[in-house]
Chain A
């Protein structure tokens, strides 16, 4: 079974440009999460999809970030326009819908390292 995949693995862009990150969850996983780790700090939650719906987007830093999950499969996270403080590693994770508290492990992708110059 393929794991969570993310593309690209690295991206270097200049301030003001646009970047789109993609995440392909494990097949059949309805939950999809985006997280971000800024250098040396904790991994922070950005948002959570259940299928194609945004369940929780409380962690999105501002309106320069737009996440979509059309059809409830893969997801994209677009940053427009990018700022210096957006640099970091963006992780995607997926999990099946939980039942009675079970199966709550989140499976992580390798991350996309974004550098904004």
Chain B
């Protein structure tokens, strides 16, 4: 079974700084998807960024980028120029490809990120 580990329960950083959230996972599959989801306080969880394991290029979405190290099974999230609105709980998640017949997400325990003004 796949597992996802987030070793940083809480982090805080000054506004405008860069922060990196770590995530490691365990799987015997070669093709899969990885996600970072964000849940702001009292709001819905939304997708931040996704990575397909067969793509070597790291995904980037504006200020958010990932460092995907497939051999090490590591999938960290970097937030550049952090903003107050980035304050949220961040979850790393794993999914087998859809045609595998199992589309459930396997989540880590989350990292609570606080951006300090």
Contacts and interface: CB of A to CB of B under 8 A. Distances in A.
A and B associate: yes
Interface of A: 3-4, 31, 33, 35, 40-45, 48, 55-56, 59, 91, 93, 95, 98, 100-101, 104-106, 108-111
Closest 7 CB pairs of A and B: A98-B98, A45-B104, A43-B107, A108-B45, A42-B109, A110-B44, A42-B107
Interface string B98-117: 11011111111110000000
Given A101-B97, A104-B98, A42 B105 contact: no
B68 interface: no
Interface of B: 4, 33, 35, 37, 43-47, 50, 52, 91, 95, 97-99, 101-110
Given A56-B104, A95-B103, 4 more contacts: A3-B44, A33-B104, A43-B91, A108-B44
Contacts of A3: 44
A89 B84 CA distance: 25
A109 to B, nearest CB: 7
Contacts of A101: 52, 97-99
11 contacts: A4-B44, A33-B104, A41-B109, A45-B104, A48-B103, A93-B105, A95-B103, A101-B97, A104-B33, A104-B103, A108-B45
Nearest to B46: A108
A111 B40 CA distance: 13
B105 A45 contact: yes
Contact of A45 (B33, B43, B97, B106): B106
B98 A106 contact: no
